[in-house]
Amino acid sequence: MSKPSLNTSLVSVLHNDKYGSSVPPLYQSTTFKATSFDELQEYDYTRSGNPTRTVLQQQIANLYEVNQEQVFAVSSGMTALDIILRTLIDNSDQIPTIIAGDDLYGGTQRLLTFLQTRNHAKVVHTDTTNTASFIELFKSLPRVDIVLLESPTNPLLKVADLPALCHFVKQATNDSCKIVVDNTMMSGLNSNPLQFGADLVYESGTKYLNGHHDIMAGVIIAKKDVAPSVYFVINSTGAGLSPMDSWLLIRGLKTLSVRLYKQQINAMVLSHWLQDVCGFKPNAAEKEKPQLRTRFVGLKSHPQFQLHQSFNRGPGAVLSIETGDVKLSERIVTSKRLKIWAVTVSFGCVNSLISMPCKMSHASIDPEVRKQREFPEDLIRLCCGIEDVKDLQYDLLAAFEEAGLVELQQRGQDTYILNKQNGHLARNNIGETYQENYNVYDQFFGQNIVSKTRHLHRPKL
């Protein structure tokens, strides 16, 4: 029999239960009885290893096509980054220099600031999505030990050229500089940065991997030469994921492909509707009016659409809009007419989420820093779930109307949406564009995000 597809591997979980249970059992045990003093047994204490966690780590290994020994499940996505940085910093013979992006998750920014203020690392921020600028900065520094990348960035949806950046860094440093990639926005289903040359990849398992926002988890996938050092830190600190959360994450992974596929279809439909019907797009002819915008890497209007498509198998399901007015954005997000979109931080859940990052997930970033990095304070982040997309559209439209952003006009049998911020007028086509956008998704991101062949050469790790 040929090797099963990725989708099948995630659903068909292999385990060695002696009773033949159809799903992996939960080993909610701290200790394991010693059978011999002469032979090393596989498990003795759950901090060091647990059968349920091992099954989970094998599933993640299937997702990233690596050996199970290269995968580690820990208590959160931020724990994953902390473990990675501890591993790499402890292996450095001097205070290391870290290059990181200028559009980072707020928790990542907080941890990097913590390290820098305590003189554990020197952190240099730059626009990692500008390859030429990144290379120029890299060459100007006497030494770079770690490069931390995200793509697409959260929430500005900027795309870093991961293959090009990894190739440059490895060539420029003879493989001495370690590349770390936060792959949470894409998940291993859409992208595998290890194949481009990254040394360590991590995800917040809280997001797409689990998909239900009922656990916190993080996963680390490391090259073979780094993996033992990562395990040493995890075992020393006791950061391994608990058996119960490991068991729930195994269950969540089974539906990853169907969830993410539906979420991305919804995001494609919604982004086209927001841009073309609701008028969230710049208007060069009306420069005196607020410039609205829809940010989504699945839109052809995204300046890096083709770049993203070149090394990813899907656009993800996170998009953002700018209203041109902070107060207006606040009224939309806090609208009492929102019944489906939940106002929460995070993303990747089966239900749709809406937030204002500058007030929520990115509030820990100093306002002056946000200003320097041209972070739009009016930005609204939309994280699509698996609901009927028409319901998501009508829900948003009600909030837009209550907030005073749009005016609905009835013309015969048709309803038109007038964007009062920029004067954009278009017929409301909710319910008419699903198949059209499904075809767009099909054309540009493969017939199925889990059946499309991984099309980039995978080097030996």
Confidence of residue 446 (pLDDT cuts 50, 70, 90): low
Rounded CA Rg of the chain: 23
| Residues 277-288 as b or e (16 or more Cβ within 10 Å = b) | bbbbbbbeeeee
Which residue is catalytic, options 43, 47, 359, 373? Answer: 47
Q: CA separation (Å) from 304 to 191, 232, 271, 307, 459?
A: 16, 39, 16, 5, 26
Contact 102, 160 (CB under 8 A): no
Beta bridge partners of residue 125, listed in sequence order: 100
Contact 102, 373 (CB under 8 A): yes
Res 452 pLDDT > 70: no
For the chain, give the percent of residues with pLDDT over 90: 75
Mean pLDDT of all residues in the chain? 89
Q: In sequence order, which residues have a C-beta less than 8 Å from that of residue 360 and are 6 or more positions away?
A: 345
Least confident of 31-45, 172-186, 227-241: 31-45
- DSSP conformation letters of 266-288: HHHHHHHIIIIIS--S--GGGTT
- Concerning whether 207 is annotated as a catalytic residue, the answer is yes
Q: What is the pLDDT of residue 275?
A: 96
- Concerning whether 313 is annotated as a catalytic residue, the answer is no
Confidence of residue 444 (pLDDT cuts 50, 70, 90): low
Q: What tokens does 413 get? A: 């049998």
Contact 177, 169 (CB under 8 A): yes
- Complete domains list, the chain, with CATH: 6-252 (3.40.640.10), 257-445 (3.90.1150.10)
Contact 106, 130 (CB under 8 A): no
Q: What is the pLDDT of residue 92?
A: 65
Res 355 pLDDT > 60: yes
CA proximity to 315, closest of 198, 157, 160 = 157
Q: What is the pLDDT of residue 211?
A: 96
Summarize the confidence of residues 237-246 as an average pLDDT: 97
What element of type H or E holds 250?
A: helix 243-253
CA proximity to 326, closest of 295, 285, 369, 371 = 371
Q: What is the pLDDT of residue 436?
A: 58
Summarize the confidence of residues 19-47 as an average pLDDT: 87
pLDDT digits (tens, 9 = 90+) for 303-324: 999 999 999 999 999 999 999 9
Confidence of residue 455 (pLDDT cuts 50, 70, 90): very low
**Helical segments of 23-76, H only:** 51-64
Residue type for 234, please?
I
Query: Alpha-carbon distance 453 to 68, whole Å?
Result: 22
Helix (H/G/I), strand (E/B), else coil: 204: strand
Which residue is catalytic, options 102, 103, 161, 182? Answer: 182
Confidence of residue 456 (pLDDT cuts 50, 70, 90): very low
Residue type for 30, please?
T
What element of type H or E holds 237?
A: helix 227-237
Q: What is the pLDDT of residue 45?
A: 92
Confidence of residue 365 (pLDDT cuts 50, 70, 90): confident
Res 443 pLDDT > 70: no
Query: Alpha-carbon distance 208 to 383, whole Å?
Result: 11
Q: In sequence order, which residues have a C-beta less than 8 Å from that of residue 167 and are 6 or more positions away?
A: 196, 197
Tell me the CB-side half-sphere exposure of residue 6, using CA atoms within 13 A. Answer: 23
Query: Alpha-carbon distance 102 to 158, whole Å?
Result: 10
Query: Alpha-carbon distance 5 to 451, whole Å?
Result: 7
Which residue is catalytic, options 105, 202, 231, 261? Answer: 105
Summarize the confidence of residues 346-360 as an average pLDDT: 92
- Concerning whether 43 is annotated as a catalytic residue, the answer is no
- Concerning whether 414 is annotated as a catalytic residue, the answer is no
Which residue is catalytic, options 53, 86, 158, 207? Answer: 207
Confidence of residue 35 (pLDDT cuts 50, 70, 90): confident
Res 142 pLDDT > 50: yes
Res 9 pLDDT > 50: yes
Res 415 pLDDT > 70: yes
Contact 350, 211 (CB under 8 A): yes
Contact 183, 203 (CB under 8 A): yes
pTM for the model stands at 0.92
Q: What is the pLDDT of residue 132?
A: 96
**Which of the two residues, 15 and 327, has the higher pLDDT score?**
327
